[in-house]
Structure 1
Amino acid sequence: MIHLTKIIAAILVLLAIALGGYAWILSRQPAPPPPVAATAPTTSSSKAQVPTFAVVVTAKPVAAGHAITADALRVEQLPINPSGAFKDSAPLVGRVPVFDLGEGTPVLEGQLASGLAMRVEEGERAIAIKADEIMGVGNKVQPGDFVDVFVILKSDGKDVDRSQARLLLPRKRVLAFGSASVDSLPSKAVDGNGNPTAQQQQRNDLPRTAVLAVPVADINRLTLGESAGRLLLALRNPLDTTLPDPALLAALPAALQPPPSKRGELARPPLEGLDSAQAGLTTVDLVTGGTVAGRRAAAENRINTTPAPRSSGSGARAGFEVEMIRGDKSETLRY
């Protein structure tokens, strides 16, 4: 029994010596490097994961007032996503910027032309005329409707039979009526509480103007008709596309005539579009139709309704006076 105890004690002593030697060997080995090198890849990977956004930018300078072409746009990946930016260039083709855009500039919605001007077709102009409940078909006219414009030309009380009413402009598109317009039509639905919607409240406000899309050559007719008489709008079905035959009536002469053609030159074609608008129109031709007989009748009417010519003793040239009545206003014109 004593021998067994000695053997176990000797084994334990040897084991302690072995463990002490192993500990001494480990203490002699160099210390491991700091963990900085392990974190370096993590930092670089975080930089590579910065989010980017697809944004349409200009590939070349674009001037204000000119349509954007497809080759003037490209899509870039940017670290920012500006408000109003576009991801695809297709919706931007044909849009018009309101100011110059340099190369590489992100194209934003606020930089592009919008509003009522974008609803005017080529060759048309948006013209505002005075409106009231009678003129606007009891305020039932809405933006987007088509109307016929009639003019009423009233003569004085002594010559009522010379008053006339006729179609001035057929099938014109209404761009705006009062505060409502085709580019910002309010909702037609009522709310759950039965309160009037924005559109109903808008109708309750009496409109004072109506904006029509008119060919530029017809603007003279509209402006003269409004100044010389009273305009009325006749609401028509948008599917009704019938128009009067312009060949049935003679064209009205222009206020400014082009110079005559020289010998050997071809006759100049009739004025159209902007040229016709620039040539202008006179009130007497609008009223009489521009015929010689109509002008003669208008001159006789002025002579018959004129009280007396001005005296030439004052040094002024003798002439005629015509009183024009528009509603409750009276104006005397001297010729």
Structure 2
Amino acid sequence: MINLTKIIAAILVLLAILLGVYAWMLGRQPTPKAPAASERGSEQTKSQPAVTYPVVVAAKPLPAGQVIAADALRVEHLTVNPAGAFQEVAAAADRVPVLDLSEGTPVMENQLVSGLALRVGAGERAVAVKADEIMGVGNKIQPGDFVDVFITLKSDGKDVDRSQARLLLSRKRVLAFGSASVDGLPSKTADKQQQQAQRTEPARTAVLAVPVDDVNRLTIGDATGRLMLALRNPNDMGEPDPKLFTDLPTALQPASVRPGEPRRPPLEGLDRAQAGLTALDLVTGGKNVASRPALTEARAISTGTRAPQPGTARGGLQVEVIRGDRSETMSY
């Protein structure tokens, strides 16, 4: 009886060992359903197309500082949508890049000229002049307003015969006054207290849109006299008639016309700005010729042809300066 019990116990232990080995072998084998699920997931990934975005890119190299033509751009579908990118060619055409863009480069807003420069019209220049509360109509001027620029010249017995005040420029557009500007860009100051202080701070400059051939008038007027801005209604289109006044002479005289060449038209635009303007002509209107300094004629004189005068340095050059009917020799 004891032997039978031992035999049964040995058989049960052997069966337990066999079952344990079988369970271990089953645990080592991969799950049969896993490969099928993986294959189905990869098939679904291949069947679904990648998400793309329309992005305007350069169809050819775009040099900095030149207007972008519409045919120099094209729309490509990219898997990424860069911040500030354009989706339509019309939105980026006729803009000016600030850096060179190679072909295929996405065109973005921060790569193009922006700000106050875009508010300056063709043939105009943005010019800043000193401003204060009196000059700026009690700080009531706002960007976008139109103003007349008056100039006051005080007599000092040297440059001006007597004090005068007159209209210098008429109906000029204000691009910026103090920290406010027509470009509408938000302030970069994050602190609200600093923003409030910026609004209440008196304006120190006024930026005006001025035709390029009138920039000389404004800059000389700001340097030699006191400017005053007169605020005007934007619907008031009245301006002085330029035909009633003679043109001021330029600081640089145009080159003489050769025989047989046609007569040149009056200087305008950049040519007139290049010719410049003198403060004396601005004050006198170019008519007070007698008050101009006498023209001097200088010519070098060889040291061997004229004996040195007392007090002059030996071995130096001499110049004969002629002022009207007077002549004197100066050594240097």
Identify the TM-score tier after normalising by the shorter chain: 0.7 to 0.9
Q: Secondary structure at the match of 1:240?
A: coil
- 1:122 deviates by 1.1
Checking the alignment, whether the CA contact within 8 Å between 1:139 and 1:203 is kept in structure 2 is no
- 1:35 deviates by 6.5
Q: Which residue of 2 aligns with 1:275?
A: 271
Checking the alignment, whether the CA contact within 8 Å between 1:68 and 1:96 is kept in structure 2 is yes
Give the counterpart letter for 1:78 in structure 2.
L
Checking the alignment, whether the CA contact within 8 Å between 1:143 and 1:175 is kept in structure 2 is yes
Equivalent residue pairs, number: 266
Checking the alignment, whether the CA contact within 8 Å between 1:152 and 1:164 is kept in structure 2 is yes
- 1:51 deviates by 1.6
Q: Which residue of 2 aligns with 1:327?
A: none
Q: Secondary structure at the match of 2:215?
A: helix
TM-score, length-normalised on structure 1?
A: 0.72
TM-score, length-normalised on structure 2?
A: 0.73
Q: Which residue of 2 aligns with 1:12?
A: none
- 1:43 deviates by 1.0
Q: Secondary structure at the match of 1:74?
A: strand
Q: Secondary structure at the match of 1:110?
A: helix
Superposition pairs of residues 43-82 of structure 1, within 5 angstroms = 43-47=42-46, 48-82=48-82
Identity of aligned residues (%): 63
- 1:295 deviates by 2.7
Q: Which residue of 2 aligns with 1:109?
A: 109
Q: Which residue of 2 aligns with 1:257?
A: 253
Superposition pairs of residues 134-149 of structure 1, within 5 angstroms = 134-149=134-149
Q: For 2:267 and 2:159, how far apart are their aligned partners in 1?
A: 35
Q: For 1:106 and 1:186, how far apart are their aligned partners in 2?
A: 26
Checking the alignment, whether the CA contact within 8 Å between 2:153 and 2:160 is kept in structure 1 is no
Q: For 1:276 and 1:234, how far apart are their aligned partners in 2?
A: 26
Q: Which residue of 1 aligns with 2:206?
A: 210
Q: Secondary structure at the match of 1:126?
A: strand
Q: For 2:281 and 2:231, how far apart are their aligned partners in 1?
A: 27
Give the counterpart letter for 2:127 in structure 1.
I
Q: Which residue of 1 aligns with 2:301?
A: none
Q: For 2:217 and 2:180, how far apart are their aligned partners in 1?
A: 25
Q: Secondary structure at the match of 1:261?
A: coil
Root-mean-square deviation (CA), in Å?
2.9
Q: Which residue of 2 aligns with 1:233?
A: 229
Q: For 1:233 and 1:149, how far apart are their aligned partners in 2?
A: 5
Q: Which residue of 1 aligns with 2:87?
A: 87
Q: Which residue of 2 aligns with 1:162?
A: 162
Checking the alignment, whether the CA contact within 8 Å between 1:254 and 1:282 is kept in structure 2 is yes
Checking the alignment, whether the CA contact within 8 Å between 1:54 and 1:77 is kept in structure 2 is yes
Q: Secondary structure at the match of 1:143?
A: coil
Task: Go from structure 1 to structure 2 and tell me whether the alpha carbon gap of 1:246 and 1:299 turns closer, same or farther (over 3 Å shift).
Answer: same
Q: For 1:181 and 1:50, how far apart are their aligned partners in 2?
A: 44
Note if 1:286 corresponds to 2:282: yes
Alignment gaps of 5+ in structure 1: 1-32, 188-194, 301-312, 320-335
Aligned match of 1:296 in 280, 287, 290? 290
CA deviation vs aligned residue, 1:164-208 (integer Å, no higher than 9, x gap): 000000011111111111112679xxxxxxx9996x754421111
- 1:297 deviates by 5.2
Tell me which protein shows more helix as a share of its residues.
1
